[in-house]
Structure 1
């Protein structure tokens, strides 16, 4: 393009007196006409170049699409001679199980197995969709705003379980509309974890008609002030129950524990918060088959405890919330645990560790203790006594 300077290019219009400049109107109009012609020519070139660029973009997209098709064809035909392609469905299903996240409950996210496995190829999708055991664990978020759409998605997941036992976790509020989702699968639920929002109004039918339920975890974070509400609900649990975790619920006393007495007899694992030491011993009496107990004892008073022998408990974890009165000595004096293998006790650091009482418990029980974990002021000499008393004890940890 030619130089665009003119005899008038140096004029400073705001600072120049028009009368002092010889303006030739015809000459300036010719310059403007010439510039318009130049502008039209440049715009034409730009338009032509944009057309070429659009053509290149289209060609590029077509080539990329062709590349993807070629790669897909190569992958497919390589798969035909791959040993993985010839794997029996049963083996491929087992491999898929090892792809699942190592969580108790699975998220229905599209970028995680098992959903991810359905997006690889047609064969993998058919195998994944036809393997019921891949779809037996699920987290259901009951707080989903678009519940109707979410219910369809969760329902399709659960339908793939085809009668297998289910492990389900529910986040958020539980109501009748959520119960409708479970109704077709009510006989399959063997493990259930449920957490309530604050100030939740617990439905009466919550734990009814769960004939296959073996494990129940009830999470806290809700406004329940009376443990008897859950006592009534838990009393409806089936005899198939083996594990109960109500650790985050309000503390239970003897009356609460007795109110759902039928559920205790078959339990082998319990996590719970209770009020008094006599309630702790009462719990052990109610659970003759108990093998593992985790208990937070909110002691309100000292008591004279009747001796108790529990023949089956193997793992005992006691948390003492009170730091005013030392209450572990009374418990250790009352208990005889001939099958105990793991003992863990935690109390306030200012409370003196009941060494003599624990030594008497171990000597009286003659248990095959393997692990002793405690918090408190325990000397090396006292730890050595425990090891000398119980030959099977190979782990003593002071926290």
Structure 2
């Protein structure tokens, strides 16, 4: 076989160029498209404006940044700059971590001037350091008539009152959500906030986080108007029942601390509209004094003495931190008695606290016929729990059996989230398979799982089987099973000494469309 001749570099480039252009001259090709001729530039301005809105960060209160919308859109071209400049909704949300009068006030004023007449979502964080910063507050108060969602974070205001919100008083007709976070703030410097909120006719949702609070201050809030209330304090004492007496329209409540004093026996408070309860495990004793006939959603979490976020992160890895280890098992009797006393139909239960197997099963039995969603984060699932949730044939005299003969705990359960590592000794395959099989039979009362979020150690035998089940289910009926499996592997931890290992997460989401 003859060896092809070796071409020099110039000849090789010439041949490649001729091959690419097929012998045509370069000037026969159309020029590259200009910005004005790009397909996106042909879109109607209204549609381009809508597309820009989808570019906004997902945060409720995004911090302005040149690398994200809307500022990034202003630097693409003049046409985009004009569209972004006149799209009011792009400028209607902002979080400002206030630091400088000379820089922050003019920049914030310019930003808000672009928002036109759009309703505003504003977040302001200030470290007062015992000094007034009235200029930025005056600027925001100029737009008070358009406030819809507002968050204030105030720190280091132990002094007498040094600021006011006078320009916003009786001028917040649209305000529906307010969040106040205070650290080292005196009662006199909280007064402007309570005065402002008392003039908000449409305020429905309030989050109040204060390291020192008192019942008198909170009673000054417009509690009867609220449908959602979240309270968290580090110190002080609150009379929760006195507060709840004023919350006749409450639909959601979150309580974390402080732990109330032992309450004397008294007539339980009836809250007819409350559907969602989010409460720290150490204050569930207050439930003995409530009747909640509309309650549907319950969340019980670790008390606020330890960081819930940290505990969640370590518990999902199967690591026991000192904070978790020191926690006693939660006794759910107060919650169970509330459910029985209220005759409510709890549909979702979220537990992130150590609890014994028997107590967890008792919780599920209390909402056996109504529960549709269960999230477990505070303890590893036990074989007893899986066994009770798995449909089994009832003991019948007849040898023939149908789906009606199968019984299990929580037959309507369709969503299961186990956000802590499932041990190798525990399997959920039979649980998932049996519920899927029975759900396809006529006249069944047992629901299949349509959402599963499970945390396994890498290599667990359940993983490939459950993925196969999800694929088959979605092939029969699109989006019928949403399966997410988190795998934890063992490897070297960053910064650890040689030879030390620890668990880390490897997430793999199985899309329902696959």
Distance 1:230 1:249, change over 3 A: farther
* C-alpha contact (below 8 Å) 2:271/2:291 kept by paired residues: yes
User: Are 1:121 and 2:77 an aligned pair?
Assistant: yes
Distance 1:374 1:281, change over 3 A: farther
* C-alpha contact (below 8 Å) 1:351/1:376 kept by paired residues: no
* C-alpha contact (below 8 Å) 2:45/2:83 kept by paired residues: yes
Could you tell me which of 101, 114, 118 is aligned with 1:164?
Answer: 118
Q: Distance in 1 between matches of 2:147 and 2:193?
A: 21
Distance 1:168 1:355, change over 3 A: closer
Distance 1:244 1:300, change over 3 A: closer
Pairing of 1:15-164 with structure 2 (within 5 A): 77-144=33-100, 147-164=101-118
Distance 1:299 1:356, change over 3 A: closer
Q: Distance in 1 between matches of 2:105 and 2:377?
A: 49
The number of equivalent residue pairs is 314
Q: Secondary structure at the match of 1:187?
A: helix
- After TM superposition, the score normalised by the length of structure 1 is 0.70
Aligned partner of 2:220 in structure 1 is 259
Q: Distance in 2 between matches of 1:380 and 1:350?
A: 16
Q: Distance in 1 between matches of 2:184 and 2:370?
A: 43
User: Are 1:268 and 2:236 an aligned pair?
Assistant: no
Aligned partner of 1:397 in structure 2 is 376
Shift of 1:111: 2.4
Distance 1:375 1:95, change over 3 A: closer
User: Are 1:287 and 2:242 an aligned pair?
Assistant: no
CA-based RMSD of the aligned residues comes to 2.9
Distance 1:231 1:388, change over 3 A: same
* C-alpha contact (below 8 Å) 2:149/2:176 kept by paired residues: yes
Distance 1:315 1:205, change over 3 A: same
* C-alpha contact (below 8 Å) 2:157/2:189 kept by paired residues: no
Q: Distance in 2 between matches of 1:342 and 1:95?
A: 36
Higher Cα radius of gyration? 1
Q: Distance in 2 between matches of 1:306 and 1:297?
A: 23
Name the one with the larger strand percent.
2
Q: Distance in 1 between matches of 2:38 and 2:189?
A: 60
Could you tell me which of 322, 334, 359 is aligned with 2:336?
Answer: 359
> CA-to-partner distance for each residue in 1:243-273, whole Å, 9 max, x for gaps?
11112342332x333333xx11211221113
Distance 1:272 1:149, change over 3 A: same
Shift of 1:162: 0.7
Q: Distance in 1 between matches of 2:83 and 2:207?
A: 36
Q: Distance in 2 between matches of 1:398 and 1:303?
A: 30
Q: Secondary structure at the match of 1:139?
A: strand
Aligned partner of 2:157 in structure 1 is 199
Q: Distance in 2 between matches of 1:90 and 1:342?
A: 40
Pairing of 1:350-389 with structure 2 (within 5 A): 353-374=330-351, 378-389=355-366
Gaps of 5+ in 2: 1-29, 304-325, 379-514
- After TM superposition, the score normalised by the length of structure 2 is 0.55
Distance 1:107 1:232, change over 3 A: closer
Q: Distance in 1 between matches of 2:54 and 2:280?
A: 37
Q: Secondary structure at the match of 2:145?
A: coil
Shift of 1:290: 1.5
Q: Distance in 2 between matches of 1:169 and 1:153?
A: 15
Aligned partner of 1:314 in structure 2 is 275
Gaps of 5+ in 1: 1-72, 322-326
* C-alpha contact (below 8 Å) 2:121/2:147 kept by paired residues: yes
Aligned partner of 2:179 in structure 1 is 217
